[in-house]
Amino acid sequence: MKHYELLYLVTTQVPETQLEAIQREISDWIEKQGGKITRHEAWGRKKLAYPVAKEKFGYYLLVEFDAEPSTILQLEGQLRLHKQVLRHMLVNKKPISAKELLQQELYMQRHQRRQVEALQRGAGADEKKALEKKEGKISLEELDKKIDELLDSDMIK
């Protein structure tokens, strides 16, 4: 069995109360084919980057599951025929161990805690820049400075 991630987009013409029924229908189909659901997530209603079937908004739903590769083609066929599913994306995903999942959660908690602490103590501009650098972000001003330095250097001339 391989691990898969399915992200699908449901039309907003479906009431929110019926989203769970659609999610259950797709999950039941996966389980009937011998798959095992490992995670469900509902990302909610979001604006689409471009209209899909004249829809500007859609409900995003995510399912991770383990299944045999032979069932994937059948699942994609079912999703194409489903009237409420506008788009779907199915990818083979490396399963994350419990240890890796815990590490990701701890990292996110630390990152959020640092941001809250910086805001609470009224961090000055220097502290915010240091925090952004530590997190791997560079401000536009710093980026412009670096580009100007490179353009003015003798390496290009």
- Are 82 and 131 in the same domain? no
Of 48, 51, 37, nearest to 4 (Cα)? 37
- Which pLDDT belongs to residue 141? 80
The pLDDT tens digits of the residues spanning 33-84 come to 999 998 899 999 999 999 999 999 999 999 999 999 999 999 999 999 999 9
* pTM for the structure as a whole: 0.62
Element (H, E) at 62: strand 55-67
- Are 88 and 130 in the same domain? no
- Are 6 and 64 in the same domain? yes
Place of tokens 């941001």: 115
- Which pLDDT belongs to residue 5? 94
- Are 72 and 135 in the same domain? no
- Are 119 and 139 in the same domain? yes
Answer whether residue 157 is part of any domain. no
The total domain count for the chain is 2
Q: Residue 9 belongs to what domain range? A: 2-92
Token digits of residue 115: 């941001």
